[in-house]
Structure 1
Amino acid sequence: MFAFAVAVFGIQAKSNGQPEMLIAFNAAQLELPEGISIDKPGNLYVSLGPPGFVGGGYGALWKISPDGSEVTELVEYPAGPAPAGVVVDASGNVYFALPDPGGTMGGVYHVSDDGST
């Protein structure tokens, strides 16, 4: 079994020109980031799923506090489709795309920043 790390990098580069890692994901646990968005207070929203759409598997939508100390799973899809992108509007509403080729769950979904709908 191989272990791979997947990372989300900050936009601003360090003085040495290298991006700064904000949070590391465990690819061996299928924590594969697909899309990110940020809200006004600085919370990071990350959609996790198979790279591209490979026909199903673990998928989730996580909220990560600005300092990285709190990670909240807002939505989980243990099998089947996985969120492919996420956006947060000016009012803090969280939306994500859920591709489901050949299935019935494909669409755009809304969830509040605390995981309720």
Structure 2
Amino acid sequence: MATFVTIGYGDRDGYDRTDAAVRDEAHAHDARMAEAGAVMGIAGSPVQVRNHDGARTTVEGGSFMSSALPVAGFGIIEAATLEEAVDLVSKTPCAVAQGVVEVWPLREAPAPR
């Protein structure tokens, strides 16, 4: 199985415009994914961390990325293929409630030399 990081984007307006039955099924799908081992969470307030050249750590509130929709949550899922991962996230609240979900395949980092 491969590991994927998912980032869900969405806002309350899009969520509220989506039929309640569709939202309920999306939340039930999330629950089934969690039961199967997916790690999911709602996004909190981010900070940016820098330590250029290992000289001094600085922390600044706020996100580095920007998008038309706010980040709503994150997930770590396992799937056999990218296509399977896409199918899994296509049924989640952000995907069905007028938002979007990014799927990032993770590659194993090479062992240090």
Shorter-chain TM-score range? under 0.3
Question: Who wins on radius of gyration, i.e. which is larger?
Answer: 2
Bigger share in strand: 1
